[in-house]
Amino acid sequence: MGKRELLLVVVFVLLGVGVYQVTAPAAPADAPGFSLGRLMDMAKAQFHGPQARRTVARTATLVPGAEVAVLDLTGVPGPVVVEGTDRPDILVRLDATLGGLDAEDLDKQEKALTIALESAGPEARVRFGHDVRGRRLRLELRIDVPRRLKVRLGDTRMSAEVRGVAGLDLKDYAGDLRVEGLTGPVTGRYESGRAEFGDGTVLQLKTESGRVRLERPASVTLDSERTGIDIIDAAGPITIKEDYARMDIRGTGGPVRITGDGGTIALRQLAHALAIDATRLTVDAEIDTPVPVTIAVKDDDVDVTLPRTGGVNLEVAVTDGDLRVPDGLTPTVAGTKQSVTTAVNGGGPLVKLTLERGTMRVRGRSGT
């Protein structure tokens, strides 16, 4: 809204107040009269933010029964820090910054600010109550939980750190996230933001937009749409079903399988079996040691660098496209199909590359 429009709104409000003061029935004797100053104070609070602030702390504890396996934090606003500990109880510490017109306004908000823990069946839950009268509440939550519990997050945009618990379930989670030291898997759905997962993570996740980074994960299973994915030094298998994702994988500790449509993938230090079956996926793969590789792509470009040492059996076929191979190899041409079948450095695991409509480039380590 521009200054001119804002001025018109103020003028109409003042005219309306004036008409009301003239035509309204008489107010009770003890009721406060009309005050232009109070009206302006209220307007300032809305346009310029709170005039008074206060920091408030709350705590809640609960000793979960043996049947409780999950701490449900869905709907709880962040930022949240969850730490797995050896203590037998759940401890929640809330620090909130309230903003209002004056001390009386803050008193009402402070009275309405509550936090509690309760359990029912296999789940414990944090109950959070507040009345900020349309203003955004600033708060931080720190939660200590027994290590045996899993944690559930989501249903609101937030930021969170989770460490040392038995697992994490994401329910349409949106926001920044950092996870490390879990003894169980990360599951569920991640919608947007930036997520980082530390050593030993077992990831079984559906993602939609955002960016996901994993360092030394135990295993990765992703169903990802329009997501940036960085995986560094995985210790186990990687399986990704993707839709226009951008993938960067450096270092492998198990087989890699990629399927989907659209996007890009860059693989470095590939030392385990690779299988790619995709359409409109740009592939750039460097094979570090001789391993079985199968790449089948349609309607895009593929660039593969062969191992520096050791041999492979190479089978390459390109239909309705362009094939470029290292010096010394001559493609066989049959109609719109170009192909090469040869043993490189004495042969070894099969490297089978198939492309329809695009450019295939096969390189030795010294280039072509």
Domain assignments of the chain as residue spans, ordered by start: 41-164, 273-368
18 vs 96, which has greater pLDDT? 96
The CA distance from 11 to 4, in Å, is 11
Q: Which residue has the higher pLDDT, 345 or 366?
A: 345
Q: For residue 233, what pLDDT is reported?
A: 98
Cα separation, 230 vs 89, whole angstroms: 36
Task: Report the pLDDT averaged over residues 243-248.
Answer: 98
CA 242 to CA 278: how far, in whole Å? 9
Q: Percent of the chain having pLDDT more than 70?
A: 84
pLDDT band at 336 (very low <50, low <70, confident <90, very high): very high
Helix, strand or coil, per DSSP, at residue 101: coil
Q: Is the peptide bond before 28 cis (omega within 30 degrees of 0)?
A: no
What backbone torsions phi and psi does residue 101 show, to the nearest 5 degrees?
-75, -40
Q: What is the DSSP string of 5-45?
A: HHHHHHHHHHHHHHHHHHHSPPPPTTS----HHHHHHHHHH
End-to-end CA distance of the chain: 60
- 10 Å Cβ neighbour count for 300? 20
pLDDT classification of 12: cutoffs 50, 70, 90: low
Contact indicator for 281, 307 with CB cutoff of 8 Å: no
Query: Nearest to residue 350, comparing CAs of 324, 323, 326, 315?
Result: 315
Tell me the pLDDT tens digit for each residue of 253-308.
999 999 999 999 999 999 999 999 999 999 999 999 999 999 999 999 999 999 99
DSSP H helix total and E strand total for the chain: 3, 29
Max Cα distance, the chain (Å): 104
pLDDT for 40: 54
Residue 29 has pLDDT above 70, yes or no: no
Q: Is residue 202's pLDDT more than 90? A: yes
Dist. CA 107–CA 27, nearest whole Å: 27
The per-residue pLDDT for range 104-114, each reduced to its tens digit, is 888 888 888 88
pLDDT tens digits for range 248-264: 999 999 999 999 999 99
Instruction: Examine the pLDDT at 326 and tell me if it is beyond 90.
Output: yes
Dihedral of alpha carbons 307, 308, 312, 314, sign: positive
- Two structure tokens written together for 279: 């359409």
> Can you give the pLDDT at residue 59?
93
pLDDT of residue 76: 85
- In this predicted structure, what is the pLDDT of residue 103? 85
